[in-house]
Structure 1
Amino acid sequence: MGGPVMLGRVPADVRKLLDEYGELFEDQLGKIKGHKATLGLKSDAKPRAVAARRVLFALKKPVEVELRQLEAAGVIEKVDPATTVIQWATPTVNVDKGNGMVWICGDFRVTLNPNLIPEQHPMPTFEELTAKIARGQEFTVIDFKDAYLQMEVTEQCRRYLIIATHVGDFQFKRLAFGVSASPLIF
């Protein structure tokens, strides 16, 4: 049976950790402190702004709800085309999660990704990884909810992360899904 954990049954050492680091277990988007993502553009990068794609009628409301939630969480902000010159804008891919909610991803393949300088980080091979953990006895998995959205993007790079939607343009203030450099930056 699921349900809330009764604090009286939690061992004292665990309760102390929960008291000290409680914000780590809250059900809201976190923010990485001390580092902001930067996107490097090729010297011959050509800005491209692509109009919003049509959104299925059944997804319009869920997309609007998700955009409002992302805006309220500080992940995106509305861009006013009357005061901002938009050189980079990408359409979105809206995926129905099957629970009445949607996942909004910028289709940066058509705008930003071809213009990015590829991030270079050496990745260990499978053999190197298995050799390192061969004598391990306990393992764990850490899963950051909406991981990329926890990393802020520098002010200068936000203009590259504009998404065109049926309700207007928004720019990401956090690292976006769909950007080819996001996995390596994170």
Structure 2
Amino acid sequence: MKHSNVSPKFFKARPLPHAIRDLVEQEINRLVEVGILTPVSFSEWATPVVPIIKKNGEIRLCADFKVTINPHIQVDQYPIPRIEDLFGRLQGGEQFTKLDLSQAYQQIAVDESSKKLSPHTRDSSGIIAYLLVYLLPPQNSKKL
């Protein structure tokens, strides 16, 4: 956080189109089942959920953090490495892996101090929070 005297912001859930309510509910329930989301009874922070419909018809749950924590966070700026530099560093490599990035944002651990900032509101069932986010182990590691 840029400043220590930031007041928490709690935004109500945005209305969802009736046509996607069941899909959003199913996705929330799936994320709770796999341990990515957890219901919470109280939170000082709440961000509206923004459901995105993927090309395959599934729902991706996003959150509108621009109205809550984004204005108050200190963003670390890192330059993106050039592809030539990356390939140069990989030259002579002996171990390779295949990473599953299908749910990439759900594979990054949320720091304990950040968990209180992450709750999202939802339409009718209360508050959910990203409390446990996991990193999948490599599936196809090979030593060459």
Using the size of structure 1 for normalisation, the TM-score is 0.59
* Alignment RMSD: 2.6
How many Å separate the matches in 2 of 1:61 and 1:173? 23
Aligned AA (1:169) = I
C-alpha separation in 2, matches of 1:97 and 1:173: 24
Asked if 1:158 corresponds to 2:140, the answer is no
Return the alpha-carbon distance in structure 1 between the equivalents of residues 37 and 2 of structure 2. 25
Structure 1 residue 128: deviation in Å?
Answer: 4.1
Deviation string, structure 1 residues 121-142 (Cα, Å, up to 9, x no partner): 3432456457x37x79xx9974
| Cross-structure match for 2:26 | 65
C-alpha distance after superposition, 1:127-160 (max 9, x if no partner)? 6457x37x79xx9974522122122223332110
- How do residues 19-34 of structure 1 correspond to structure 2 at under 5 angstroms? none
Q: Give the Cα–Cα distance (whole angstroms) in 2 for the partners of residues 150 and 118 of structure 1.
A: 20
Amino acid at match of 2:103: D
Q: Which runs of 5+ in 1 are unaligned?
A: 1-40, 176-186
- Percent same amino acid among aligned pairs? 32
> Separation in 2 of the partners of 1:153 and 1:78?
16
Structure 1 runs, 4 residues or longer, greater than 6 Å off? none
Task: Give the alignment's TM-score, normalised by structure 2.
Answer: 0.74
| 1:169 counterpart = 2:127 | yes
Which residues of structure 2 form unaligned runs of 5+? 134-144
Query: Which residues in structure 2 correspond to 1:5-154 (within 5 Å)?
Result: 41-43=1-3, 44-80=5-41, 84=42, 86-125=43-82, 128-129=85-86, 132=88, 142-154=99-111
Partner deviation per Cα, 1:31-55 (whole Å, 9 max, x = no partner): xxxxxxxxxx121433211110000
**Cα pair 1:42 1:116 within 8 Å, conserved:** yes
Normalized per residue, the structure richer in helix is 1
Structure number with larger C-alpha Rg: 1
Whole-angstrom distance in 2 between the partners of 1:74 and 1:174: 6
